[in-house]
Amino acid sequence: MTEDRVLALDLATRTGWAMGPDPVTYGTWDFRHWVGVGQRLNMLRRKLDRTLDGRPLYGVMFETPWISPKTHQDTARLLQSMGGVVEMFCDEHGLRCFEVVAPTWRKHFLGVGQLRVGRKGSSTDQLKRMAVERCRMLGYAVRNPDEAEALGVLDYALGYLKLGDIGLPLMSRRRA
């Protein structure tokens, strides 16, 4: 483990996370079974604390939560608060904190930031499928789109910070 490790997050009630560059690890934190916003935020904080575990970390990059006009107000409050918890965690531990909008990391990782889709499905669903396919092409056995998108954010973060990318040899890839 080196000091250039970065934690990447796709914040949601089922948060995808990825850490790297060497080794690249990833997984999902599921907050759906916790009832209130406060409980979910406390669990997020505990998960973040466990990522340090005495090991150095350069910083954290998270996807900017997308709040549409149709988003329920409780969901919007949770997503915005999750970003605040991440920023607070970074501040308390002297870590660099970065935020990236989805079209930016997707353009880097998938080659396309947004799609125009007809009636047969949403562009978000199609982009999530593309992220899963891209990860599998790179040799990552992602279990869901949350892990795939966290790996996409990690790849963008490592490139942005000039620390490499997630295209590492298959032997160094492992799912936590």
CATH number for the domain that contains residue 10: 3.30.420.10
Query: Taking a C-beta distance cutoff of 8 angstroms, is the pair 25, 176 a contact?
Result: yes
The pLDDT of residue 116 is above 80: no
Q: What is the pLDDT of residues 37-92, one digit of tens each?
A: 999 999 999 999 999 877 789 999 999 998 888 888 988 999 999 999 999 999 99
In a domain, 100, yes or no: yes
3-state secondary structure at position 59: strand
More confident residue, 11 or 1: 11
Count of structural domains within the chain: 1
Per-residue confidence (pLDDT) for residue 114, from 0 to 100:
77
Residue that wins the pLDDT comparison between 111 and 34: 111
pLDDT of residue 156: 95
* Dihedral sign, Cα of residue 52, residue 45, residue 93, residue 145: positive
For residue 75, is it within any domain? yes
In a domain, 98, yes or no: yes
Q: What is the pLDDT of residue 170?
A: 39
pLDDT at 171: 35
For residue 43, tell me if it sits in a domain: yes
Q: 81-91 burial, b if ≥16 CB within 10 A, otherwise e?
A: bbbebbeebbe
Residue at 116 is within a domain: yes
Residue 1 forms part of a structural domain: no
pLDDT tens, position by position, 120-135: 556 888 999 999 999 9
- The three-state secondary structure class of 170 is helix
pLDDT at 120: 56
Q: How far apart, in Å, do the first and last CA atoms of the chain sit?
A: 15
Confidence (pLDDT) at 1? 41
Q: Mean pLDDT lowest for which of 97-111, 121-135, 161-175?
A: 161-175
d(Cα 62, Cα 89) in Å, to the nearest integer?
A: 12
Tell me the pLDDT tens digit for each residue of 9-40: 999 999 999 999 888 999 999 998 877 899 99
- Which pLDDT score is estimated for 172? 40
The answer to whether 159 and 100 are in contact (CB under 8 A) is no
User: Domain limits at 99?
Assistant: 6-175
Residue 66 lies inside a defined structural domain of this protein: yes
Q: Can you point out the beta strands (E) in the chain?
A: 6-10, 14-20, 24-30, 59-63, 96-100, 173-175
